[in-house]
Chain A
Amino acid sequence: MIRLEGVERVYRVGGEAVRALAGIDLEIGTGEYVSLMGPSGSGKSTLLHILGLLDRPTAGRYLLDGLDVTGLDENAQARLRREAIGFVFQFFHLVPRLTAQANVELPMLLAGVPPAERRRRAAEALAAVGLADRARHRPDQLSGGQRQRVAIARATVMRPRLILADEPTGNLDHAAGAEVIALLERLHREHGSTLVLVTHDPELGARATRRLRMRDGQILPEEGDGRA
């Protein structure tokens, strides 16, 4: 599903070049559950942003389902994000003025789904994360774990093929974090979507079927079953 060929991301800070990604070659199959670990600053978030089409590589190619998306224009990339990709962030990024229900409806609103269907599917998605009774609550009326579950409902309501989660438990205590991971894993299984999870927690990272480690903008050789 995902194929990166020699992907680089170089930031220019002042006169200096910071190589956040230094030549990444990577293949991820459809339906895989991949964890991405590594020290701070190793390039995990940068890689995830490129996978999610929020950022463009400065060199290399990115093929998504066989389609070279590196050179697509902004509108085409936006369409792919809308239809094929779901994000879960460390800081939830719920819109504070909108209810949980409206937050979950947001991707469908942007995609032009009719209101009635929007409401129905958002309610279903909220029920799937166990928050049916919190639909009318605004984010500031929810706990951290509940907020992240709303964010997961939002990320999965469009049934994306690819779910990208950047330290989704980084702001949660152990119990809430475990709940969130369990939820992500369940939806990944039920929907058959590909899940890429960035985490600092080795215990969580170990749950993935495939574990990637990064250092200095590069992916370290994989242990275990030896797929590259």
Chain B
Amino acid sequence: MSPPAVLAFALRSLAAVPLRTALTLLAVGIGAGAVLTLSALGEGARRYVTREFAALGTNLLVVLPGRSETAGVTPGLFLGETPRDLTLDDALALARSPHVRRVAPIVVGSARVSHGARAREATVLASTPGLVAIRRWRIARGRNLPEGDPRRGRSACLLGARLARELFGAEPALGRWVRVGDRRLRVVGVLAAQGFGLGIQTDDMVIVPVATGMALFRTESLFRIMVEARSREAVPLAREAVRAILRERHGGEEDVTVVTQDAVLGAFDRILRALTYALAGLAGISLGVAGILVMNVMLIGVAARRAEIGLLKALGAPPGLIGRLFLAEAALLGAAGGLAGLGVGWLAVLLVGRIYPAFPIAAPGWAAAAAFGVALAGATLFGLLPARRAARLDPVAALADRG
């Protein structure tokens, strides 16, 4: 009996018990659909995080004061030494390295921001024009902070979108004066509304020149320095250059931590990929359950069709063929259920994509292949036992049942 004939025969047997077949397909379909949908969610999370990080710039290095990358305790801590602060001059020295495109020294604080009667407590980010460039922030109106010697304070600031709206309402903010702490600063630009993102939330912030911020918060030290390497390939060179320059400036002490964006991104990527596999595995359990159901349904089928099996044997079907006929039924259940699951999963992915357009949910190709493959292989595997039982049925005993 040719394989197409075997499949056609199996198909007819399944069609003869439509309810049983439909319920089994449903179970297999839910399993396969769950594998697809959950791995699409995991993959979406991974893509989301990667995309957000990439938007921050993959050439990015962040310099933090203090050594935190070595495990254990730094000897300096025992001697009562505190790590040297990062200074504005450190940042300017880094900017001179050939591997560095731009730097943004950063001081952070909180201050009262007011315009006329309206006032708010807001986060103040003090930096150079390089910050907006490095973080790829968009300026909706006006321009960036003025260029020039960062050591000189200037009476200019950028407002986050929401902060500008709250202080000025419908009036244009550009060119107006606001009070930040004890300073009067002119609004030279308003940042574009950022909405929902992974990076720093700029909508409620005010950005001021770094020297102005240092005076405002009465500090000489920087919170951190952001460094943009010349290119992605230059990131390791830039990191070495930053370390060397700061070691020299800090009296030979290695007292800063340099984090590269790539390292963080890689870590997230690995974690989220693992999470996706785990989700797919969890969903796979439901496929396993569906497989057991397939086995059960097939065993019921074998029991209900004993007379038919006996007849097929009497008509000259060898045991192997009987086994193949039943195995084909299991495989068809697996394949059809798997396809149905892919359809349902794909619809679910489409639906989530519609409801949350910002979330890049996507069913990875391997997940579709795995969902279908596991459904097919699982059903076939669980069909082996019923098929063997059918193949080994004693025809005389089977025919003793009335058919």
Residue picked from B314, B318, B399, most chain A C-beta under 10 Å: B314
Residues of A within 8 A of B319 (CB): 74-75, 78
Q: Check A111 for interface membership: any CB of B closer than 8 A.
A: yes
Bound CA span A98–B315, Å: 15
A-B contacts, CB under 8 A, total: 77
Chain B residue with Cβ nearest A115: B5
Contact partner, B315, options A74, A81, A92, A97, Cβ 8 Å:
A81
Whether A121 sits at the interface, judged by CB under 8 Å, is no
Interface size class of A (residues with CB under 8 A): 20 to 34
With a cutoff of 8 Å between Cβ atoms, the chain A residues found around residue B16 in the complex are: 96-97
Chain B 1-43, CB within 8 Å of chain A: the 1/0 string?
1100100010011011000000000000000000000000000
B315 and A110 contacting across the interface, CB-CB below 8 Å: yes
Query: In the complex, what's the smallest C-beta–C-beta distance from A55 to chain B, in angstroms?
Result: 5
The answer to whether B334 has its CB under 8 Å from any CB of chain A is: no
Interface membership of A82, Cβ < 8 A:
yes
Does B259 sit within 8 A of A, measured CB to CB? no
Most B CB within 10 A of own CB, among A81, A82, A97, A110:
A110
Interfacial chain B residues near A106, Cβ < 8 Å: 312, 315
| A:106-162 near B, CB below 8 Å | 106-107, 109-112, 154
Stretch touching chain B among A83-91, A173-181, A198-206, A215-223: A83-91
Interface of B is mostly: helix
| Cα A181 to Cα B339 with chains together (Å) | 51
Is B321 in contact with chain A by the CB < 8 A criterion? Answer: yes
| Neighbour of B314 across the interface among A52, A75, A79, CB < 8 A | A52
Among A74, A89, A111, A154, point to the contact of B399 (Cβ < 8 A): A89
Q: Is A26 an interface residue (CB 8 A)?
A: no
Q: Which residues of chain B have C-beta atoms less than 8 A from A93's C-beta?
A: 307-308, 310-311, 314, 399, 403
A87-B314, A97-B16 are known contacts. Are A92 and B5 too (CB-CB below 8 A)?
Answer: no
Cβ A81 vs Cβ B1 within 8 A? no
A95 at the interface (CB under 8 A from B): yes
List A contacts of B396 (CB < 8 A): 49, 54-55
A81-B5 in contact given A54-B396, A93-B307 (Cβ < 8 Å): no
A79: contacting residue among B307, B310, B318, CB under 8 A: B318
- B313 part of interface (Cβ distance < 8 Å): yes
A74-B319, A78-B321 known, 14 other contacts, Cβ within 8 Å: A54-B313, A55-B395, A78-B316, A79-B318, A81-B316, A83-B316, A89-B403, A91-B307, A93-B403, A94-B403, A95-B308, A95-B403, A96-B16, A97-B16
Question: Closest 9 A-B residue pairs measured CB to CB?
Answer: A82-B316, A97-B16, A78-B318, A81-B316, A93-B403, A91-B402, A75-B318, A93-B311, A107-B315
- In the complex, 21 of the A-B residue pairs with CB atoms within 8 angstroms, ordered by the A residue number, are A54-B399, A55-B395, A74-B318, A74-B319, A78-B321, A79-B316, A83-B316, A85-B316, A89-B399, A89-B403, A93-B310, A93-B311, A93-B399, A95-B311, A95-B403, A98-B12, A109-B1, A109-B5, A110-B321, A112-B1, A154-B315
Interface residues of A, Cβ cutoff 8 Å to B:
49, 52, 54-55, 74-75, 78-83, 85, 87, 89, 91-98, 106-107, 109-112, 154
B residues bordering A, Cβ < 8 Å?
A: 1-2, 5, 9, 12-13, 15-16, 307-308, 310-321, 395-396, 399, 402-403
